[in-house]
Structure 1
Amino acid sequence: MSGPGFSSQPDAALLSVQYLRAAAALVVMFFHVSVLTQETWGLDPERVDHVGAAGVDLFFVISGFIMAMIVARQGAFDGKDFWIRRIARIVPAYWVITFFVFALAALLPSLFQTTTAELLHLLLSLSFLAVDSGDGSTVPMLGVGWTLNYEMFFYAIVALTAGLFADRRLLGTSGVIIALVLAGVLIDPANPTLAFYTNPILLEFVFGVFVFRIWLRARSRKVGLAPLVVLVAGVLLLVWQWERPLVDWRPYYWGLPATAVLYGALQVVTFKSAFLARLGDWSYALYLTHVFVVTFYIKFVVPLRVLGDMPWEIHYLVMTILAFGVAAGFYTLVERPLSRWVLNRLRPATPEPQRAAATGPAE
């Protein structure tokens, strides 16, 4: 079955997705800097940079967009290849960090407040299942990994509807997600697993699918200043909520502005920057590793007397440079080699030109 006519060739506009990935990972890091600073020194919790967590919402909207783009490509949908690419992209790097956390919890338990080296918790974390490991929480060993549990759940729905029911427009995927969210609103489940898989945050994947459909139609038309207005409006809405605490309906407060940012950026941010694209390549590594860098810096570096009263702007800059440096090393030495190894082991040999054409710049 052929797709709806979307070419698999990379589009310059998709570079904006790479740039946004880097920005999303960076603001998530800033959120954790703010939270850990408050926790470490008991500063005013009202001054926490809450909206930095909206980087996660932007990631989810981007994920919805990318999955819609992949499924819409010309040619038959290959469910096996879809899963192989998702596994190679997500699993190896995450497993390495998860095993690292487990080892730290076993050897240096004093470093952690709640995380312990429990085998059941490790296995649940590695399986990407949001299941209560015994304490009423579904959070995996690597705290930020809860977002990857949502990602894998979304991929499963996409593979089911596109692979079994030829849902190339992801209408079925969107319908399933909307039904789950409505069920969660009506039932308000007390079970943490059911609450997780019916959380309204799932709607942000649907937002991304919607952005793809709109972008696909608009990319060959003259759209004027509308995308720029939408982009600026999305950014301003997020800035306006800078210190708004986390809320139940974050898809409304943060998801919709993130959707506006993605749509606007796709149309407006079309310049090429090898530097920003490289930061986008490192975004997943940054997301997985930044907590270690930030925690070490805040707990052990900032208190050093030699730093004196150095402004926090300088601390932020130093942490950003260190975090991206660690991310670059992790990407180069761990993430990329392991992903390629898994991809080559699981996927049958493909002629190089065909393989290059099947790989978009933002997968």
Structure 2
Amino acid sequence: MVILSHFAGDPYYKHFGYYSVSVFFILSGFAITAALNEVYAFDLKRFWINRALRLLPLYYITLAATLGTVLALPGETARFSTHWAGPSLHDFWLNLLLLPMMSWEHQFRLVMPAWSVAVEILMYAYLSLGFARRKSYATWLFATAVVFHALTALGGDGWHTRYFDPHGATLGFSIGALIYFQRKQRLSKISPRAVPPLLMLWIANMICGGWILSDDYVRLGGFYLNSIIGAALVTALADWRPAATLRVVDAHMGELAYPVFLCHWLAGFAVALAAFSPEVRGTGFALAAILASLGIAVVMASLNARCIEPMRRNIRRGAGITVPRTRGGGAVTAAGA
């Protein structure tokens, strides 16, 4: 959805990426709250080392590859994306530090999804410093997020403020944390059988926005309905116990998701250079970019599995962690999510 929103070339597809990332924030809020409570027991040193190993090596590999490409082909890369035009040493250091990239004031971006990665790290800080400890704290974060979104909507702030302002992400992460506590207290449960209709409803809401329904709906009613459906989906999926074969497929897709997210602009540029032109956009180009991104992601995920994951497993063993098992015998990998 994210690659389609970036490369399809039609403004209609833009919100596909926005809606998908918003639901991912809910999923991440749930998974990280579960991990902090059940895997790390708020051992923040090991939690942060594992998060850094999960996020940063692949980020810096993508950053280095993109920097080499931009320096080697400055004209072509600038035509492909204005965010790769006219780099300076100051811009390079900002990209290297990563966290400044959560602000869109910095236009030069070697890794375009750096915004989302930086926001993730900020939300990890909120959750690990207290909001994931108790339901009441998560509720307070949710209430603050609702006030932020209400004030920006009623105050006439643009749609991008509610989406791109880092604190806009507190809505999704707090919803995810509340889902964890609600399930723990057995206060809410949605049958996994509801997953297919919920998924169809989520897709329908996304497709209808900007096509049957107005652009104003996309930015307001549709956006918040997207979060409601996303919360129901995460709640239902939390109790889903798929067959062994599907678990294996799911695990492989999960390992590819982050590398695909990081490398898709670089993969898209390679496709444009090889078969199209730097200015090209369109659904055909987007599909080709998806395939190229998957190919690069397989290599990145393989390197990650060989070099990084053993260190992460050792850190978990050092914490004396026993990974719980599902009824079907598979490991519950909340931290890996």
Shorter-chain TM-score above 0.5: yes
Superposition pairs of residues 161-180 of structure 1, within 5 angstroms: 161=130, 168-169=133-134, 171-176=136-141, 178-179=143-144
Q: Deviations over 1:164-199 (max 9, x none)?
A: xxx523542552464366357648799x99996564
Q: Is the 8 A contact 1:64 1:207 kept in 2?
A: yes
**Among 66, 71, 89, which residue is 1:119 paired with?**
89
Give the aligned residue type for 1:78.
Answer: D
Shift in Å at residue 66 of structure 1? 0.4
Structure-2 separation of matches of 1:360 and 1:225: 20
Relative contact order (alpha carbons < 8 A, sep ≥ 6): 1 or 2 greater? 1
Matched, 1:288 2:262: yes
Q: Deviations over 1:102-158 (max 9, x none)?
A: 33333332112243432332332333323699x933774311110011100001111
Matched, 1:136 2:110: no
Q: Secondary structure at the match of 1:72?
A: helix
Structure-1 separation of matches of 2:187 and 2:126: 27
Structure-2 change in CA distance of 1:268 and 1:132 (3 Å):
closer
Matched, 1:149 2:122: no
Equivalent residue, structure 1, for 2:173: 205
Shift in Å at residue 213 of structure 1? 3.1
Equivalent residue, structure 2, for 1:98: 63
**Among 219, 224, 244, which residue is 1:252 paired with?**
224
**Among 295, 309, 318, which residue is 1:350 paired with?**
318
Q: Is the 8 A contact 1:121 1:141 kept in 2?
A: no
Matched, 1:88 2:53: yes
Equivalent residue, structure 1, for 2:328: none
Q: Secondary structure at the match of 1:142?
A: coil
Structure-2 change in CA distance of 1:138 and 1:77 (3 Å):
farther
Matched, 1:261 2:233: yes
Give the aligned residue type for 2:91.
Answer: H
Superposition pairs of residues 296-315 of structure 1, within 5 angstroms: 296-298=270-272, 300-302=274-276
Q: Secondary structure at the match of 2:106?
A: coil
Structure-2 change in CA distance of 1:100 and 1:237 (3 Å):
same
Q: Deviations over 1:208-230 (max 9, x none)?
A: 12232344456997958556554
Matched, 1:28 2:2: yes
Superposition pairs of residues 183-194 of structure 1, within 5 angstroms: 186=151
Q: Deviations over 1:203-249 (max 9, x none)?
A: 11112122323444569979585565544433332232265767378
Q: Is the 8 A contact 2:46 2:316 kept in 1?
A: no
Q: Deviations over 1:37-74 (max 9, x none)?
A: x2xxxxxx454353244221122111101012112317
Q: Is the 8 A contact 1:231 1:260 kept in 2?
A: no
Matched, 1:234 2:208: no
Q: Is the 8 A contact 2:37 2:133 kept in 1?
A: yes
Shift in Å at residue 328 of structure 1? 0.5
Structure-2 change in CA distance of 1:227 and 1:213 (3 Å):
farther
Shift in Å at residue 355 of structure 1? 6.2
Q: Secondary structure at the match of 1:143?
A: coil
Structure-2 change in CA distance of 1:177 and 1:217 (3 Å):
closer
Equivalent residue, structure 2, for 1:24: none
Scaled by the length of structure 2, what TM-score is found? 0.73
CA RMSD of aligned residues (A): 4.1
Shift in Å at residue 251 of structure 1? 4.9
Structure-2 separation of matches of 1:138 and 1:173: 33
Q: Is the 8 A contact 2:23 2:227 kept in 1?
A: yes
Structure-2 change in CA distance of 1:176 and 1:52 (3 Å):
closer
Structure-2 separation of matches of 1:62 and 1:250: 19
Q: Is the 8 A contact 1:61 1:259 kept in 2?
A: yes
Aligned residue pair count: 311
Give the aligned residue type for 1:257.
Answer: I
Q: Is the 8 A contact 1:132 1:138 kept in 2?
A: no
Structure-2 separation of matches of 1:226 and 1:98: 40
Structure-1 separation of matches of 2:36 and 2:192: 29
Scaled by the length of structure 1, what TM-score is found? 0.69
**Among 214, 218, 243, which residue is 1:271 paired with?**
243
Structure 1 alignment gaps of length 5 or more: 1-26, 39-44, 304-310
Shift in Å at residue 356 of structure 1? 5.1
Structure-1 separation of matches of 2:190 and 2:283: 44
